[in-house]
Amino acid sequence: MMKIGLIDVDSKHANLALMKISAYHKKIGDSVEWFDPLFSKCDIVYASKVFTFTKDYGYYPNGTIKGGTGFRDYTSTVPDELICPDYSLYNLDYSMGFLTRGCPNHCEWCVVPEKEGNIRPAQDIEEFARHRDVVLLDNNVLSSDFGIKQIEKIARLKLKVDFNQGLDARLIDKPMAKLLAKVKWLKPIRLASDNQAQKIPVERAVNNLREAGATPSRYFCYLLVKDVAEAHDRSEHLRLINVDPFAQPYRDFRPKAKPPTRLQKGFARWVNHKANWKTETWQHYKNREHLKEHKNGNK
C-alpha cells in the first residue's frame, strides 16, 4: 500500500481531478491525504491547478505530478475517466462530473478544443451522481446528441442540476426550451454572451425559456470582457431583458500573454457588485474609481 498526497493549488473550489485520483488510489488500496510540507511522507504527490492566474504553491516535493489548465497542461488526464469521484475528500453534499467532453467551437479565449478536442460522450449521469444535487462541468452539452439524451434522463430522475459552464444560447430553440423546462435547476440557468453576435441568440433563448416555463425565469449570463465599451453595450442589453450578467475579463492563455487590464477588471467589478450595477452608471463608477480609457478602450 502506498501513501498518496494531494495538493489543490486553487483551493477555493472542489477539484474534480483530485477527487477522481483519490477514488482511484483508494480503490486499489492506497491511503490518501492532503499533502503537508512539514509532516507528510508520501510515495506519490499529485498537484492540480485549474486557473492560470492562481498563485502557485511554494512547497512541491521532488517528483510531484502536476496537471491542469493552470499549469498550461493541455494533455494530461486523470486515471480511469469513468471512476466515480471521491466526494468525501471535500465533504460534498452534491455530485460533480462531465456528461460530455470537448467542444465543436473554436473560440479564441477558450482552451477546451485544444485540450479535449471535439464534443464527445464522457459519462452517464448515473455513473457519478450520488446526490440529488449535481454540478455539471460540460462546455457545450447541447451540441451533443448524447448530452441531450442525458438531460432527458436527468429530468426523468428528478435530479437538481447546474450546468455551471453555461449553455449555448444559440442552441436553445423552442423544443430545447421545452426540454430544459422539465429540468429541476440547482442554480439559475446559465447562458453566455461573449460578443455582439450573441445578443440576439441570448434574447431569443431567454424568451423561449420563459415561454416554456423554465424556472427560475430570471437567468444568469457570463459576459466576456475584451473591449470594454462593447461589453458595456451587452451588459445593458442583459439588463433590459432581465438577465443577471457575470463579467469575466478576457484572459489570453498563450504563454507570457498580458493579464487583463485595470479597466477590464474595474468594469467586471462594477458589473459583478450588483449594488453598484443596479444603482450607478458605468461612467460614474469609472470616474469614481479613476479608471481611464486609452483609444483602444483599455488601460
Exposed e or buried b per residue across 102-129, where buried means at least 16 C-beta atoms within 10 angstroms of its C-beta: bbebeeeebebbebbeebebbbebeebb
First-to-last alpha carbon distance for the chain, in angstroms, is: 55
Q: Are 206 and 218 in contact (CB under 8 A)?
A: no
What's the angle, vertex CA 198, arms to CA 194 and CA 200, rounded to 5? Answer: 155
pLDDT value for 105 = 75
| 86-115 average pLDDT score | 83
CA distances from 104 to 31, 92, 120, 144, 167 (A): 39, 31, 9, 9, 13
- What is the three-state SS of 29-88? CCEEEECCCCCCCCCEEEEECCCCCCCCCCCCCCCCEEECHHHCCCCCCCCCCCCCCCHH
Asked whether residue 290 carries a pLDDT value surpassing 70, the answer given is yes
pLDDT tens-digit readout, 46-81: 999 988 788 889 899 999 999 887 887 666 555 556
pLDDT value for 12 = 76
Asked whether residue 96 carries a pLDDT value surpassing 90, the answer given is yes
pLDDT tens-digit readout, 139-167: 999 999 999 999 999 999 999 999 999 99
pLDDT value for 72 = 74
**Which residue in 213, 214, 208, 200 sits closest to 174, CA to CA?**
208
pLDDT tens-digit readout, 28-44: 999 999 999 999 999 99
Rg (CA), the chain: 21
Cell numbers describing residue 126: 448515473
| 109-122 average pLDDT score | 76
pLDDT value for 215 = 87
Residue 285 neighbours by CB under 8 Å, 6+ apart: 266, 270, 276
Q: How far is CA 195 from the centre of its chain?
A: 18
